[in-house]
Amino acid sequence: MSKYLNEAYQDLEVYTPGEQPQDMKYVKLNTNESPYPPSPGVLEALDAAAVKRLRLYPDPECTALREKLAEIYGVKSENIYLSNGSDDILNFAFMALSGGVVRFPNITYGFYPVFADLHHVPYRQIPLRGDFTIDPNDYCHPEDSGSCEICRKKSIGSGYDKSEDESAVRMRDGMVVIANPNAPTGLTLDESDILRIVEANSDRVVLIDEAYVDFGAVSCVPLTKEYENLLVVQTFSKSRSMAGARLGFAIADAGLIADLNRIKYSTNPYNINRLTLIAAEAALAENDYYRENCELIQRTREETAGSLRELGFTVLPSKANFLFAKSDRIGGGELYRQLKSRGVLVRHFDNPLIEDYNRITIGTGHEMQIFLEKIREILRIL
């Protein structure tokens, strides 16, 4: 840290991404990328002519891509916002739409608390049930401090308050953030539960992070037509095999989309680069290719889950492109290390609530065979 960094950022605990070894010697099952390449049309579209046009700025409104997405998702293009990875949308939401104390589960995507801290937004991490499911009731009774003068004066929008006299301040509950399916558990909330949460929080934003929705869960995009407080966030990183292209999108009422654009045009109007725009448009023209990949990944997931259960693992019922599993014969950290020393990378989290578990991305059938072989080998020598 230099002496120039503003005080506000000196204590920041940054997000730790999964390992990205650059030498490719691992069977890489640790960051939920697709094991399959982008569709053939994407490879064709990124030709020399596309590279030559890199001298020009891209279309800041991404009109063509938004129109294609709108068609696929049955909304209007004014309901779509595009971003440089969906992390960017989450960042903007914490920056500008928090509206008070942001609530999210205590076991979920590790970036949420980092964004909250970055923007000095207070948050509450709500415990999951014992079986790692989300109890929708926990999000259906927001505390409103409408009558609290102190709070209203000091907490300007975000609800953040560093008041000396904390007890005098009741902060208003703000945005709800739920990953559905949740990460790293892979468990889902029913649409009816999401609907209840959205209705109970009509004065605040409910952000549903659907990064993994294409692997067998039900999207709540259709609800965005009726509820102006619902912000659905998706990404090309997982189901559309384009983590490296950095493309995320939000679907919501035109009002929320305008808010996101307001922030975008105040930070980085050209947030989607030309090559990514071309790749994504080509990808959407071959949507069936991705749908089939997702189905294949789901079949591989169920086969792998079955094999792990036969080996005595507890495996949560996942609707994502990963499994969350533990063995009572070996600790999560130890299994992670043993697998890594045998060339297989999975994701382990130090959080004591889930330290027995590992998150295993679903790779190709062949990769999962290698993974299972190594697991059998490790269990044999215990």
In the complex, which residues of this chain contact ligand PLP (CB under 6 A)? 32, 85-87, 109, 179, 183, 209, 211, 235, 237, 243, 248
CB of 184 to ligand PLP, least distance (A): 8
CB 119 within 8 A of CB 175: no
Residue indicated by tokens 């907490």: 155
Q: Which residue is nearest to ligand PLP (CB)?
A: 85
Structure tokens at 58: 């891209």
Cβ nearer to ligand PLP, comparing 86 with 298: 86
How far apart are CB 193 and ligand PLP at their closest, in Å?
A: 18
Measured from the CB atom, is 123 or 145 closer to ligand PLP?
A: 123
**Residue among 151 and 205 whose Cβ is closer to ligand PLP:** 205
Are the C-beta atoms of residues 349 and 359 closer than 8 Å to each other?
Answer: yes
CB of 87 to ligand PLP, least distance (A): 4
Six-digit token string for 44: 């064709």
The least distance separating ligand PLP from the CB of residue 209, rounded to whole angstroms, comes to 5
205 close to 256: Cβ distance less than 8 angstroms: yes
The residue among 33 and 173 lying less far from ligand PLP, judged by its C-beta, is 33
**How many Å separate Cα 64 from the centre of its chain?**
25
Q: Pick between residue 77 and residue 86 the one whose CB is nearest to ligand PLP.
A: 86
- For the bound state, the minimum distance from the C-beta of residue 215 to ligand PLP, rounded and expressed in Å, comes to 12
99 torsion bin: left (phi>0), alpha (psi -120 to 50), beta (else): left
Provide the CA 169 distance to its chain's centre, in angstroms.
32
Tell the smallest beta-carbon distance from residue 242 to ligand PLP (Å). 9
Q: Omega into 181 within 30° of 0, i.e. cis?
A: yes
Alpha-carbon distance 290 to 37, whole Å?
A: 10
Least separation in angstroms between CB 347 and ligand PLP: 11
Nearer to ligand PLP, 85 or 113 (CB): 85
Angle, alpha carbons 242-88-85 (nearest 5°): 5
Looking at beta carbons only, is 263 or 375 nearer to ligand PLP? Answer: 263
Nearer to ligand PLP, 123 or 151 (CB): 123
Dihedral of CA atoms 159, 164, 165, 171 in degrees, nearest 10, equals: 10
Among positive and negative, which fits the CA dihedral 191, 193, 198, 204?
negative
Question: Rounded to whole angstroms, how far apart are CA atoms 358 and 361?
Answer: 10
As a whole number of angstroms, the distance between CA 294 and CA 362 comes to: 11
Query: Least distance from C-beta 52 to ligand PLP, angstroms?
Result: 28
Rounded least distance, CB 165 to ligand PLP, Å: 37
For ligand PLP, the closer of residues 237 and 304 by Cβ is: 237
Q: Output helix, strand, coil percentages for the chain, rounded to the nearest 5.
A: 40, 15, 45
Task: Fill in the DSSP letter of residue 137.
Answer: G
End-to-end CA distance of the chain: 44
> Of 145 and 321, which CB lies nearer to ligand PLP in the complex structure?
321
Residue 309 in tokens? 């259960």
Min CB(89)–ligand PLP separation in Å = 8
* DSSP per residue, 221-288: GGGGGT-TTEEEEEESSSTTS-GGG--EEEEE-HHHHHHHHHHHTTT-TT-S-HHHHHHHHHHHHTHH
